[in-house]
Amino acid sequence: MTENKTTKREQQTQKMNQLVHELVQKIDRNPEEPQNYYDLATVLVDGNDYEQAEELLMKALGLFDNDEVTVKDKLIYGLANVYYAAEEYPKAIQWFEKITSQQLKTDAYLMLAQSYLALGDNKRSMAFALTAQGKQIMKPEISNLIGDNLLALGDFEQAGSFYDQTLAVDPDNGPANFNRGLVAMVQAEPYAIYFDKAKKTDPDYFQKSQQKLTDIEKFLKTKQE
């Protein structure tokens, strides 16, 4: 089994290296196409090569400094996502806030909300999530984000409502199922179905979130005493 995992990892690495090579060639053939830099940076981030991705996008921002706002904002958005993926949230926030084009504004608000959530600043995160919500039809990732903030703030009933909105559109969303299960526990509702679905659809998240489950169990025990 370990050998199979190693082989699979090696195959993924080879595939990633090949993709990087192809994208580098695309840049060499057409260095005046900003999308090529963005695409390569995205692949580098997927491979956890944040330093190279940052360097590439910084270079691209210098090359396309005189281009229209939408071009520069796409590169800025990419750079901000590099910092977010690297868990450098203050830097990510700094760059997401630079985005002004309407095409990316909603996505930037959503990522600002995610960044503040990661920093534990639930009120600011909620503010940006609600701003993102107000600019378009509710997306499941937005309703889920609002649910996460409400859960962190202890507003379980409202959190459950937003998780339900997420699951109505995306029933196999592992994190939403897990957190909806936490809400159900607090509200003395059937919850096993949510945890079972979360474990099936996103076992990694289920495993990583066991501390949340422990915290809720302690919270309920304290209430009973």
Rounded CA gap, 173 and 176, in Å?
Answer: 5
**CATH, domain range 137-225:** 1.25.40.10
Rounded CA gap, 147 and 161, in Å?
Answer: 8
Task: Domain 12-131: give its CATH superfamily.
Answer: Tetratricopeptide repeat domain (1.25.40.10)
pLDDT digits 0-9 by tens, 162-207: 999 999 999 999 999 999 999 999 999 999 999 999 999 999 999 9
What was the pLDDT predicted at 139?
A: 84
Domain ranges of the chain: 12-131, 137-225
Rounded CA gap, 14 and 9, in Å?
Answer: 9
Model pTM above 0.85: no
Provide mean pLDDT across the span 111-129: 95
pLDDT band at 214 (very low <50, low <70, confident <90, very high): confident
